[in-house]
C-alpha cells in the first residue's frame, strides 16, 4: 500500500539518496540548473547533508516526508513556509519518486501530504516548480489544484 508520512530519523539515509536522484534528474532537464539555484533543494551533491535533512525534519516551518510502498521508502517530499507579499506561502522544494515506483500513487500521496501540511501551517497559497517538458510533475501538481501562473522564457545571447 502506498502512502506518505513525516520522515523518521532512521529514514534519512534513504531520503538523502532520493534527494540526490531528484537533484541529478533536475540538473539534466531544460531549466533544471536554474530551478536548483532558485529553490531550497541543494544544487550540489555535497550540500545534501544530514544537517539539511534534519533542518527539514525538525524545523517548525519545514517538512520532510517519506513516500512509501509497503513501508519501503521510495519517494521523498520536502517543503517550507515562506513569506511572499505579506502572506505565508508553502513552497514545495521537492516531490520525487524513484523511477521503478512511479505510477502507483506514491507521488499523489506525497503531494497530498504536502498540501495538508501547508494547510495546517496556515499557508494562504502553495507554490511548486515544474520544469518545461516535465509533464508528469505538471500533471501531478495540477491534480492537487495547482495551476501555472508564470512562465519564464530565456534565450542565451552570443
For 56-94, how does the pLDDT look when each residue is reduced to its tens digit (9 = 90+)?
A: 888 889 999 999 999 999 999 999 999 999 999 999 988
Fold classified for 2-143: Aminopeptidase (3.40.630)
pLDDT of residue 150: 74
For 2-20, how does the pLDDT look when each residue is reduced to its tens digit (9 = 90+)?
A: 999 999 999 999 998 998 8
In whole angstroms, what is the distance from residue 63 CA to residue 15 CA?
A: 12
pLDDT of residue 49: 66
Spacing of C-alpha 127 from chain mean position: 11
Q: Is the pLDDT of residue 108 over 90?
A: yes
For 33-63, how does the pLDDT look when each residue is reduced to its tens digit (9 = 90+)?
A: 777 766 666 555 555 566 778 888 888 899 9
In degrees and rounded to multiples of 5, residue 75 shows phi and psi of -155, 165
For 121-157, how does the pLDDT look when each residue is reduced to its tens digit (9 = 90+)?
A: 999 999 998 887 788 888 999 999 988 877 766 667 8
Q: Collapse the DSSP code of 158 into the 3-class scheme (helix H, G, I; strand E, B; otherwise coil) and give the result.
A: coil
Is 62:122 a contact under the CB 8 Å cutoff? no
Domain residue limits, the chain: 2-143
Q: Collapse the DSSP code of 109 into the 3-class scheme (helix H, G, I; strand E, B; otherwise coil) and give the result.
A: helix
pLDDT of residue 64: 95
Amino acid at each position: 500500500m502506498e502512502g506518505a508520512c513525516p520522515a523518521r530519523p532512521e529514514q534519512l539515509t534513504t531520503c538523502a539518496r532520493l534527494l540526490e536522484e531528484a537533484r541529478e534528474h533536475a540538473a539534466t532537464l531544460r531549466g533544471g540548473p536554474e530551478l536548483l539555484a532558485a529553490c531550497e533543494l541543494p544544487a550540489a551533491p555535497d550540500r545534501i547533508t544530514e544537517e539539511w535533512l534534519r533542518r527539514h525534519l525538525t524545523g517548525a516551518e519545514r517538512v520532510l516526508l517519506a513516500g512509501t510502498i509497503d513501508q519501503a521508502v521510495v519517494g521523498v517530499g520536502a517543503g517550507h513556509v515562506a513569506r511572499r507579499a505579506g502572506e505565508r506561502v508553502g513552497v514545495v522544494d521537492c516531490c520525487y519518486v524513484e523511477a521503478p515506483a512511479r505510477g502507483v500513487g506514491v507521488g499523489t500521496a506525497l503531494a497530498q501530504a504536502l498540501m495538508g501540511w501547508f494547510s495546517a501551517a496556515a499557508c494562504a497559497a502553495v507554490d511548486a516548480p515544474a520544469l518545461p517538458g516535465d509533464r508528469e510533475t505538471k500533471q501531478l501538481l495540477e491534480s492537487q489544484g495547482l495551476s501555472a501562473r508564470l512562465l519564464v522564457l530565456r534565450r542565451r545571447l552570443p
